[in-house]
Amino acid sequence: MNYEDIVHNPQVKLAISLKHLHLQREELASLTYQQVEATMLHYIWKYKKPASLHQAVDDIFALQLGEIVGYLSNQAIVVGSQMELDDFQDLIGGH
């Protein structure tokens, strides 16, 4: 099974959903499935792709909230650095 088959496998999607619901219930109520999935795809598996379905599920269940928050914080900085000052007008006030 190759990487693409693994990450699009329904069992992997289920594992991400279960991890999302657990973290949402226990630690961060505003956490979304998409945030957990993006952390797995673009942070955890960016350089160390799972070689098997078993490894992918293990990686998902080992995911910690701090890793998600770190990834999302980094993404916010990247997106913010690409925005123009006018995009922040509603935050800083002005006419």
pLDDT over 60 (residue 94):
no
Residue 86 confidence (pLDDT):
73
For the segment 8-60, what is each residue's pLDDT rounded down to a tens digit? 999 999 999 999 999 999 999 999 999 999 999 999 999 999 999 999 999 99
Measured CA to CA, the distance from residue 24 to residue 46 in angstroms comes to: 24
pLDDT over 80 (residue 95):
no
Confidence of residue 72 (pLDDT cuts 50, 70, 90): very high
Q: pTM for this one? A: 0.85
**How many structural domains are present in the chain?**
1
Q: Show the domain range for 72.
A: 3-92
Write the secondary structure of 4-65 as one string of H (helix), E (strand) and C (coil): HHHHCCHHHHHHHHHHHHHHHHHCCCCCCHHHHHHHHHHHHHHHCCCCCHHHHHHHHHHCCH
